[in-house]
Amino acid sequence: MHITAETALCGIALHPAGHTRSPAMHNAAYAALSIDAVYLAFDVRPAELADAVAGMRGLGIRQLSVSLPHKEAILAHLDEVDETARRIGAVNTVLRRGDALVGTNTDWLGAVGALERETRLEDRQAIVLGAGGTARAVVYGLRARGARVHVLNRTPEKARALADDLGAEGAGGLEELADRPYDVLVNTTSVGLGSDASPVDPDHLGRGGVVLDAVYEPERTRLLRDAEARGARVVSGRWMLVYQAVAQLEAWTGQTAPVEVMAKAFG
C-alpha cells in the first residue's frame, strides 16, 4: 500500500471494534481495483457518536460504514437520509455528496445478493424468521425484489407490526413454519449465534428450497445443516456481510466490486 497526500480515508464506526472483517474486505477491493484509499476500523462509543460524525466532516472521510450499536442512532446526526434507509430505519453507510453527509442502507442488498447466488426472488414465497433490525432489512429486500413474504417471530405481535410496516403478506409465531410452504427461508433471529441451537424444530422445515441464515458464526449453523439434510440449498450469513460491503463499495466508487476478492478477504 502506497499512501500519499491524495489517499482517501474510509472506515467503519462500531463498538466494540475488534472482530470486524470490513477493513480486510474493503482494503482488498481497493488493491484489486487500484483505488487510492485506505479503510480503518474506528471504535466509537455510543456517547461519542456525534463527535465521530463531526470528525468525518472535519477530516474529510469519504465513506463511513456504520455497524452496531450505531445504525439507528446515527440518523439524527446526518444531513440527509435516503428513502431506503428511512424505510428500514437504519443506516449502515454514510457518503459525502458535496458538503452533505448522506446516510443509506446496503444491508438489504447483502441479503438479496446472498440469496440470488442460489435463486431468483420475484414471485417466490419467502418466510423470514425474526422481527428485529436484521429482519427489517431482509423483508425490505425481499419485497423490493418482488417476493411474497411471511414473517414469523417468537413474539408474533412484533412480526405483525413489521409485516404491516413493510408490506409483507402475513405474520405469526415461529411454530407456524410447520404449516407454511416456502421457496426461500431466512433466519434473522439470533438463535444459533455462537451455539448449536436452531430457531425452529427441524421437522417443521420444508423439503428443498433455499435457506439463508443471517447468523454467520458458526458458518454452518444447526439450521443450515438441518435444511441441507432436507434437500435445501443453503447460504451462509457470511455472504450477507460480503454483499453489503460490495454494495457499499459500489455506492462510493461507482465501480463494479470484486466479489470473490472480498469474499476471500473475509476469510
Ligand X SMILES: NC(=O)c1ccc[n+]([C@@H]2O[C@H](COP(=O)([O-])OP(=O)(O)OC[C@H]3O[C@@H](n4cnc5c(N)ncnc54)[C@H](OP(=O)(O)O)[C@@H]3O)[C@@H](O)[C@H]2O)c1
Residues numbered 198-227 forming contacts with ligand X, rule: CB under 6 A:
199, 214-216
According to CB under 6 A, which one of 131, 224, 262, 263 is a site residue for ligand X?
A: 131
CB of 249 to ligand X, least distance (A): 15
* Nearer Cβ to ligand X (139/241): 241
Asked if 153 is part of the footprint of ligand X (rule: CB under 6 A), the reply reads yes
Cell numbers linked to 112:
438479496
Residues numbered 36-95 forming contacts with ligand X, rule: CB under 6 A:
none
Beta carbons within 8 Å of 215's beta carbon, 6+ residues apart: 187, 190, 191, 192, 193, 221, 223, 237
234/247 Cα distance (integer angstroms): 22
User: Is 71 known to be catalytic?
Assistant: yes
35/248 Cα distance (integer angstroms): 14
According to CB under 6 A, which one of 155, 195, 255, 256 is a site residue for ligand X?
A: 155
Asked if 241 is part of the footprint of ligand X (rule: CB under 6 A), the reply reads yes
According to CB under 6 A, which one of 53, 88, 224, 240 is a site residue for ligand X?
A: 240
Rounded to 5 degrees, what are φ and ψ at 112?
-65, -45
Residue labelled with grid coordinates 478477504: 265
CB of 81 to ligand X, least distance (A): 19
Question: What's 42's DSSP letter?
Answer: E
* Nearer Cβ to ligand X (35/214): 214
Question: Which amino acid is residue 135, in one-letter code?
Answer: A
CB of 197 to ligand X, least distance (A): 8
131/162 Cα distance (integer angstroms): 7
* DSSP states of 140-206: HHHHHTT-EEEEE-SSHHHHHHHHHHHT-SEEE-GGGGGG---SEEEE-SSTTTTSS--SS-GGGS-
Tell me the residue nearest to ligand X as measured from the CB. 132
Asked if 253 is part of the footprint of ligand X (rule: CB under 6 A), the reply reads no
Of the candidate spans 46-54, 80-88, 127-135, 259-267, the one that interacts with ligand X by CB under 6 A turns out to be 127-135
Of the candidate spans 39-47, 82-90, 126-134, 246-254, the one that interacts with ligand X by CB under 6 A turns out to be 126-134
Among the listed residues 21, 26, 70, 71, the single catalytic one is 71
* Nearer Cβ to ligand X (199/258): 199
Q: Edge-to-edge strand order for the sheet containing 63-66?
A: 37-43, 8-14, 63-66, 93-97, 100-104, 80-81
255/258 Cα distance (integer angstroms): 9
Asked if 160 is part of the footprint of ligand X (rule: CB under 6 A), the reply reads no
| Residues assigned a catalytic role | 71
**Interface with ligand X (CB under 6 A):** 110, 130-135, 153-155, 158, 188-191, 193, 199, 214-216, 237, 240-241, 244
